[in-house]
């Protein structure tokens, strides 16, 4: 049997980190825009920064790029200090590639000249050749001579990506890079963009407020709320095991049920669930993802409910069900199943899609 040698490149990339610790940015009295953020980005990996509007995502990205000074905390790349109070490495010395929401292409330069703009080394002809290679990497070599206004939104996005990658950055920062594109194009570009970014071996941070986008393209997701990172982890872990109701809601629809912890189990309207991490008397919430809700006939086991709404989504039906207590729970069903509004059903939940979290005073 042949044993492959260890992949030294991967090991080396994993060791190249951008580390944000205790980062705080304050624009005005009151809650800071970025409030003590801890975040690590790894070279060769794509991290999505997901959070609601105003949660501080762009400010954090700008602080990493060197466009916003820190009031406290620090930012280091490979242990070299980039930012700290009173210390600020200039943006052009950080080897950060940045793609802004509006792409910020120069309208008077062709695609290839836009990409060549940031290159400093070599003759003009050499820089153009490098720019062309970068454009080809995003499958736009054939549009090299086009001006931005002659390019579609998706093509402009790829020119901006090629331009940011042209300097072979250590860190790539993208602020809502797909937001100006229609839904179909957005989904097409996501996968391709993530592949290009991984191949670039930069540590990548993509800011988004679209959960589907974050789940689809990232190796890891950092959830941001009110200036803080509230949870980080692999997409599926975060989706299935959020650490709070806020984290769960940032990633998608979730049903919420009070859970009474007794004898090591969580007692809920939807049955009992193991609750090893809790002690008797705790108040917890059972969070249920719609994909895990099973619908049985009215004479089956489970909580009795009535379907109050049926909506067709891409590839499945969303069924809104009202339990006897008046609580609502969303379920997903195949389009071929003949569920109708007014049908009585029994609801049960696949344990893998149910997750207990601590109840917080402001949650409900």
Q: What is the contact surface with ligand ATP in residues (CB under 6 A)?
A: 27, 33, 51, 53-59, 209
Quote the CA–CA distance of 285 and 283 in Å, as a whole number: 7
Q: Would you say 56 or 66 has its CB closer to ligand ATP? A: 56
Q: Taking the complex as a whole, how short is the minimal distance between the CB of residue 207 and ligand ATP, in angstroms?
A: 6
Q: Taking the complex as a whole, how short is the minimal distance between the CB of residue 256 and ligand ATP, in angstroms?
A: 24
Distant-in-sequence, close-in-space partners of 184: CB < 8 Å, separation ≥ 6: none
Q: Taking the complex as a whole, how short is the minimal distance between the CB of residue 155 and ligand ATP, in angstroms?
A: 24
List C-alpha distances in Å: 359 to 242, 280, 355. 13, 14, 12
Burial of 29 (0-12, 13-18, 19+ CB in 10 A): exposed
Quickly tell me which residue has 């206004």 as its tokens.
149
CB 246 within 8 A of CB 230: yes
Quote the CA–CA distance of 37 and 47 in Å, as a whole number: 15
SS3 104: coil
Q: Taking the complex as a whole, how short is the minimal distance between the CB of residue 177 and ligand ATP, in angstroms?
A: 13
Ranges of H-type helices in 90-210? 111-116, 124-137, 153-166, 183-200
Q: Would you say 54 or 122 has its CB closer to ligand ATP? A: 54
Q: Would you say 35 or 201 has its CB closer to ligand ATP? A: 35
The enclosing H or E element of 314 equals none
Q: Taking the complex as a whole, how short is the minimal distance between the CB of residue 33 and ligand ATP, in angstroms?
A: 3
Quickly tell me which residue has 């950080």 as its tokens.
94
Q: Would you say 37 or 347 has its CB closer to ligand ATP? A: 37
Output Rg (C-alpha) for the chain, integer angstroms: 24
Quote the CA–CA distance of 54 and 106 in Å, as a whole number: 28
Q: Taking the complex as a whole, how short is the minimal distance between the CB of residue 28 and ligand ATP, in angstroms?
A: 6
Q: Taking the complex as a whole, how short is the minimal distance between the CB of residue 237 and ligand ATP, in angstroms?
A: 23
Paired tokens of 39: 């975040």
Q: Would you say 57 or 143 has its CB closer to ligand ATP? A: 57
Q: Would you say 28 or 90 has its CB closer to ligand ATP? A: 28
Q: Would you say 119 or 222 has its CB closer to ligand ATP? A: 222
């Amino acid at each position: 049997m042949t044993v492959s040698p260890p992949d030294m490149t991967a090991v080396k990339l994993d060791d190249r980190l951008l580390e944000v610790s205790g980062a705080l940015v304050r624009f005005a009295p009151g809650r800071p825009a970025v409030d003590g953020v801890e975040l690590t980005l790894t070279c060769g990996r794509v991290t999505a920064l997901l959070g609601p509007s105003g949660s501080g995502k762009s400010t954090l990205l700008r602080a990493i790029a060197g466009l916003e000074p820190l009031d406290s905390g620090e930012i280091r790349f490979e242990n070299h200090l980039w930012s700290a109070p009173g210390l600020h490495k200039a943006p052009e010395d950080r080897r950060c590639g940045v793609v802004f929401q509006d792409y910020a292409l120069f309208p008077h330069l062709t695609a290839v000249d836009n990409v060549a703009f940031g290159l400093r080394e070599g003759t003009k002809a050499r820089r153009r050749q490098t720019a062309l290679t970068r454009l080809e990497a995003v499958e736009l070599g054939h549009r090299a001579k086009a001006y931005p206004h002659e390019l579609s939104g998706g093509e402009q996005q790829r020119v901006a990506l090629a331009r940011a990658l042209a300097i072979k950055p250590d860190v790539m920062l993208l602020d809502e890079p797909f937001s100006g594109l229609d839904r179909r194009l957005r989904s097409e570009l996501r996968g391709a963009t993530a592949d290009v970014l991984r191949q670039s071996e930069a540590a990548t941070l993509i800011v988004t407020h679209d959960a589907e986008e974050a789940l689809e393209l990232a190796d890891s997701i950092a959830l941001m709320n009110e200036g803080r990172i509230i949870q980080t982890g692999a997409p599926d872990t975060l989706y299935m095991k959020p650490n709070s109701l806020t984290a769960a809601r940032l990633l998608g629809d979730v049903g919420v049920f009070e859970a009474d912890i007794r004898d090591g189990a969580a007692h809920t309207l939807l049955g009992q669930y193991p609750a090893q991490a809790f002690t008797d008397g705790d108040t917890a919430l059972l969070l249920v993802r719609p994909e895990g809700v099973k619908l049985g006939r009215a004479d089956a086991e489970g909580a009795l409910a009535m379907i109050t709404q049926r909506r067709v989504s891409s590839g499945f039906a969303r069924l809104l069900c009202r339990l006897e207590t008046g609580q609502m729970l969303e379920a997903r069903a195949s389009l071929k199943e003949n569920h109708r509004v007014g049908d009585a059903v029994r609801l049960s939940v696949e344990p893998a899609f149910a997750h207990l979290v601590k109840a917080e005073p402001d949650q409900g």
